[in-house]
Amino acid sequence: MTESVALAKGSTPRILVVGGGYVGMYAALRLQRKLKRDEAEIVVVEPQPYMTYQPFLPEAAAGSISPRHVVVPLRRVLPRCRIVVGEARGIDHALRTATVATLASQEEGGQELEIPYDQLVLAPGSVSRTLPVPGLAEHGIGFKTVEEAIGLRNHVLEQLDIASSTRDAEVREAALTFVFVGGGYAGVEALAELENMARYAVRYYHNIRAEDMKWVLVEATDRILPEVGEELGRYAVRELRGRNIDVHLETRLESCEHRIATLSDGSMLPTRTLVWTAGVKPAPVLVASDLPLSPRGRVAAEATLRVAGVADAWAAGDAAAVPDLTAEEPGAECAPNAQHAVRQARVLADNLVAQLRGQPLAEYRHQHVGSVASLGLHEGVALLYGRRFKGYRAWLIHRAYHLSRVPTFNRKARVLAEWVLSGLFKREIVSLGSLEHPRAEFEAAAGDHGTRSDP
């Protein structure tokens, strides 16, 4: 049994926020604004000391936005909250305690942290949902974090270097074949942005043409980008295919062993790049709690964002099954997307404050405004208030929408400045893959020194 050390708790009621993403950060931000210092102590537990604005990951991967401008430092925007950098491993709501593994827990003799609380806000988000596809764990690349986005950018540029420097036709073919599995926002936008970047980069390679590269999108259903509607989804497929991107609909990845992507339609694609964006699942901490779960593994929540049938517990975002009161069909739940998460965070924080002050609670209702998606530089699709937009106008709407939604004025200004500068100057096409292993050169030098004999 793992030993733990308790985080000291004073007489002030403690609100524990598990997760620092959309719901966690926005809820904590609103709580610290509305609550007086003596009303409650707010503790935020998050594995990373920042919140990632995921809609900007494709542009960060393409080099249009600096990675540091895609993240929001929690300590800076939540000065009245206590930030604990760690992963919640278990929640015992009956005892009002959470077990958290921190960086210190990994040290020799380190212990997990036990955090007592009075009110729980459960917002750990989601993790990539993988399937038991042979070879996926060994060769697949995710696209959910800023680290994965920048790693993928470096990887793509390294493949161009490999293809340019080899005389082996099979190695060259595999290096220039890029397979993306999943036709949702993440997969389509990542593929489109990186294809733009790679097509620009090959002009600086004397022996690679844009036509030599093969970009492939694999989607298990009969359309991509279902959130923007069938018509715009068909337009997106035509636009991608017009750029010589192979789109395989109603197709599954069956294997990627030995760096060969085998598809259910019989295609076999030698590739050194397989990006997996086929869905997400709730964070593992949910199953390590005593809170009620929905059939899909999310926390069962009421329309007020309280956990169903449980006192002093709240949930929202990807990890919560929240009733959609605006839907026509009975029993519908809010989709796990950023648009709902941000709005749910505000209602959750307001209701939590209302409960502490003995006031009535409000129900979460939100009419869906629409959806926007980028298809690369100057191309996109948008569905807003029932109106459809395509091409350059949709791309501008996409950028304007997300610029308005990214947290803090500081980030808005920096992102806008980078967009302006990227329009005035050429793209940067340098791979910094060595950043992922910064000690490799030193270790090699130290090893060489250790094997030499003294003169």
pLDDT tens digits in sequence order for the chain, 455 residues long: 345 666 766 678 999 999 999 999 999 999 999 999 889 999 999 999 999 998 999 999 998 888 889 999 999 999 999 999 999 999 999 999 999 999 888 776 678 899 999 999 999 988 888 888 999 989 999 999 999 999 999 999 999 999 999 999 999 999 999 999 999 999 999 999 999 999 999 999 999 999 999 999 999 999 999 888 899 999 999 999 999 999 999 999 999 999 999 999 999 999 999 999 987 888 999 999 999 999 989 999 999 999 999 999 999 999 999 999 888 788 888 888 888 888 999 999 999 999 999 999 999 998 777 889 999 988 999 998 889 999 999 999 999 989 988 888 888 999 999 998 888 877 777 767 666 677 777 777 787 655 555 44
- Per-residue pLDDT, 455: 45
Q: Report helix, strand or coil for 305.
A: coil
Domains contained in the chain, CATH given = 14-128+281-357 (3.50.50.60), 140-278 (3.50.50.60)
With left for phi above 0 and alpha for psi between -120 and 50, is residue 226 left, alpha or beta?
Answer: alpha
Contact 392, 400 (CB under 8 A): no
pLDDT at 352: 97
φ/ψ of residue 92, rounded to 5:
-110, 90
**What confidence score (pLDDT) does residue 124 get?**
94
pLDDT computed for residue 1 by the predictor? 39
Residue ranges of the alpha helices (H) in 67-166? 74-77, 136-139, 146-165
Kindly report, residue by residue over 386-431, the tens digit of the pLDDT. 899 999 999 999 999 899 888 888 889 999 999 988 888 777 777 6
Instruction: Please check whether residue 65 is in contact with residue 89, taking contact to mean a CB–CB distance below 8 angstroms.
Output: no
Contact 15, 31 (CB under 8 A): yes
**75-81 CB contacts, 8 Å cutoff, 24+ apart:** 75/49, 77/25, 77/29, 77/407, 77/408, 78/25, 78/28, 78/29, 78/32, 78/42, 78/44, 79/32, 80/32, 80/37, 80/42, 81/17, 81/28, 81/31, 81/32, 81/42, 81/43, 81/44
Task: State residue 5's pLDDT score.
Answer: 64
DSSP string, 125-149: -EEE-----TTHHHHEE--SSHHHH
Instruction: State whether residue 441 is helix, strand or coil.
Output: helix
Angle among Cα 386, 391, 393 to the nearest 5 degrees reads 65
Residue 21 to residue 336: CA distance in whole angstroms: 13
Amino acid found at 343: R
pLDDT digits (tens, 9 = 90+) for 347-377: 999 999 999 999 999 999 987 778 899 999 8
User: Would you state the pLDDT for residue 111?
Assistant: 86
Q: What is the pLDDT of residues 110-151, one digit of tens each?
A: 788 999 999 999 999 888 888 889 999 899 999 999 999 999
List the beta strands (DSSP E) in 32-81. 41-46, 50-52, 71-73
Q: How far apart are CA 140 and CA 137, in angstroms?
A: 6
pLDDT of residue 384: 86
Return the closest-CA partner of residue 400 out of 421, 385, 422, 415: 415
- Could you write out the three-class secondary structure of 335-375? CCCHHHHHHHHHHHHHHHHHHHCCCCCCCCCCCCCEEEEEC
Q: What is the pLDDT of residue 171?
A: 95
